[in-house]
Structure 1
């Protein structure tokens, strides 16, 4: 399977990169490997061929050193994924360069557990699973009637129809830290159900898929660390502590 590693930039100074003393957080070193190298290695061990989406010359050079193809990054993650689907086709696995603890087994399990009729799938982990794996971590949670969930930065675009989900992704991208605004796009009845704490994850995903014209699915991760990316300096410290403990 082809896999895409998102290593673009939102512009300005990245606080994590500045904290680590590098120009781009994909170049942060952990255990003698850059974050990009760690992600690429996990994908390779899972049987994936990795392509890196970036417009940073140093990241592109590191990708080349790792034997990865490079695609120029678009202004946002969703647009970069859209370009990759055109270039690489589907099925396509998508992850991020700051997925520092990514393991090949998580990737293999995710792909294997994607329902066969799904056009697109996303990996999520429950709050209790995450907090058991990394006590004290602070993540953004989607709160539903059947529990709180956090994304794991792994997406499976299983069929060509998944391109429809990218268009919806672009619309909600700006609200990724404000889940209720994302739910608002589902319509007033769904929003009211969410605000009253009655909306289940399954119903939300079904509604999301209907809006995008695709069959969408969620795969639950048994590994809480799968939800840990390096989004803040505190995340980098936490990842370093996990690796040191190992």
Structure 2
């Protein structure tokens, strides 16, 4: 299995460090992307990197230019990968090989597997970080920054994924797509993981599963400069 590391995009605050992408902002003496590449390599994965590469180490197998969009970058990278792929963002410098191995070993068979992390695990290790959480019947979780997917089935779901991204700033239209019944249950904390997975499958047309992950580093990224001290 290979990994795809998404290091594109530009952040205004990253310019303070002489770079455009936050993936290249230094964290403990190394660009953030290098911590991610190291964790993936130690877990036994080679990587395809999308974004500016000024000589990152360990070196990815392949570097591709930033297309200007998240889905565009993912689609371009998948063109050079086969079968099941682990996708990671480049702004998770806390990522450990143990967390990567857990996801690979525990992931259920599905076209798309999305790790989620319990709030308690995040707050125990990163008490000062700010995350967005969702309350489900099984607990309170934040979304991870890893994604396990099958290449062929991703392309089957791509048109819908593009539609979801296009609607991200139109909450009412996005709500209609997801379904008011699901949103109401989510707001009330009554939504279960099987219900959420079933709706994702209905929307995307492929099997989608969540993976409860005890490693908080999977769910903590660097969105702002102040996150560098976490």
Q: Which band: TM-score by shorter chain?
A: 0.7 to 0.9
Q: 2:96·2:217 contact (CA, 8 Å) conserved in 1?
A: no
> 147, 157, 167: which one pairs with 2:159?
167
Q: Following the alignment from structure 1 to structure 2, what is the Cα–Cα distance between the partners of residues 186 and 7?
A: 29
Relative distance call for 1:133 and 1:65 in structure 2 (3 A) is closer
Q: Following the alignment from structure 2 to structure 1, what is the Cα–Cα distance between the partners of residues 46 and 205?
A: 28
Unpaired runs of at least 5, structure 2: none
Query: What does residue range 1-246 of structure 1 map to in structure 2 within 5 Å?
Result: 1-9=1-9, 11=10, 13-15=11-13, 17-54=14-51, 59-63=52-56, 66-116=59-109, 118-158=110-150, 160-173=152-165, 184-238=176-230
**Counterpart secondary structure, 1:228:** coil
Q: Following the alignment from structure 1 to structure 2, what is the Cα–Cα distance between the partners of residues 136 and 203?
A: 32
Q: CA deviation at 1:28?
A: 1.8
Deviates more, 1:174-183 or 1:225-234: 174-183
Q: Following the alignment from structure 2 to structure 1, what is the Cα–Cα distance between the partners of residues 105 and 12?
A: 35
Q: Following the alignment from structure 1 to structure 2, what is the Cα–Cα distance between the partners of residues 81 and 166?
A: 10
Q: CA deviation at 1:32?
A: 2.9
The structure where helix makes up a greater share of residues is 1
Relative distance call for 1:36 and 1:106 in structure 2 (3 A) is same
CA RMSD in angstroms, aligned pairs only: 2.6
Give the TM-score, by structure 1 length. 0.82
Q: CA deviation at 1:63?
A: 4.2
Q: 2:49·2:60 contact (CA, 8 Å) conserved in 1?
A: no
